[in-house]
Amino acid sequence: MKLHLYQVDAFTNHLFGGNPAAVIPLDQWISDSLMQRLAMENNLSETVFFVPSSKPDADYDIRWFTPASEINLCGHATLASAYVLFHVMGYSYPAIRFQSKSGILVVTRNLDKISMDFPAWKPEPVTTRPNELAAALGNISITSVHKHRDYLVEVADESIVQLCQPDFTLLKKLGHKIILTAKGNKADFVSRFFAPTVGIDEDPVTGSAHSQLIPYWAEKLGKKTLFARQLSKRGGEIWCEYIGERVTMAGQCVFFMKGEIDL
């Protein structure tokens, strides 16, 4: 069996920036164990698979795997999948409807960007902070902690986010994915994302985290349209909008390579 493999840098306008995703289009699903082994072999934060959908309200079914496990939502790999469909596979319609474990995700062409319609996950305050959280994040001073899927940890300044040096062994023991965020200087807000529990110490740019970040900062800043930066070493930019129960996030992509898997 031969499979096509594409690698795309998402949420960036230059090569070696943003978040690289491995994109593997399929005619029909292969086994879960094989998808997981391919993700482990690719050793990127996510490998994404999609197949033509048999459902009337979807064009493709989509699934995402880290090197360690399947996850329920991934922004950058969805963006990369849409880029491959629009620019490599000749998909000619203006919008793609992906059926996922987080429901229907609609992705559209938007001038030089691709825009994704995702669920809004409004995080709620955590009344009791995990005892080791501050220590696991390098003994930083924490302003507040909220949670939906992941812990959202706000700190007072962008520089704290930029300079944070987590203890990934302690973070893994906590058992949660961590979004570290602050009000931005040149962006509305900035963030970093740590997920050693699913085999990713730090994710370069994380669309799913922005399902929590967008409603959080929209309410805090009193504005619906926001610009965000993720402050990983590779860095990334996301144009955001909060529209009630949904959020939109738009970004650019750069094609890196194509290959063939021989199984």
pLDDT at residue 258 in the model: 98
**Distance from C-alpha of 47 to C-alpha of 145, rounded to nearest angstrom:** 30
Q: What angle do CA 21, 24, 28 make, to 5 degrees?
A: 145
Q: Please indicate, yes or no, whether residues 150 and 238 belong to a single structural domain of this protein.
A: yes
Q: Please indicate, yes or no, whether residues 157 and 95 belong to a single structural domain of this protein.
A: no
Q: Which pLDDT tens digit goes with each residue over 65-82?
A: 999 999 999 999 999 999
Q: Please indicate, yes or no, whether residues 232 and 130 belong to a single structural domain of this protein.
A: yes
Q: Please indicate, yes or no, whether residues 98 and 7 belong to a single structural domain of this protein.
A: yes
- pTM value? 0.94
* Mean pLDDT calculated for residue range 111-115: 94
Q: Which pLDDT tens digit goes with each residue over 12-61?
A: 999 999 999 999 999 999 999 999 999 999 999 999 999 999 999 999 99
How many structural domains does the chain have?
2
Q: Please indicate, yes or no, whether residues 101 and 193 belong to a single structural domain of this protein.
A: no
Looking up residue 42, the CATH number of its domain turns out to be 3.10.310.10
Q: Please indicate, yes or no, whether residues 130 and 240 belong to a single structural domain of this protein.
A: yes
Q: Please indicate, yes or no, whether residues 8 and 84 belong to a single structural domain of this protein.
A: yes
* Mean pLDDT calculated for residue range 117-142: 90
Annotated catalytic residues are: 46
Q: Please indicate, yes or no, whether residues 74 and 140 belong to a single structural domain of this protein.
A: no
State the residue range of the domain holding 7. 2-117+251-262
pLDDT at residue 127 in the model: 77
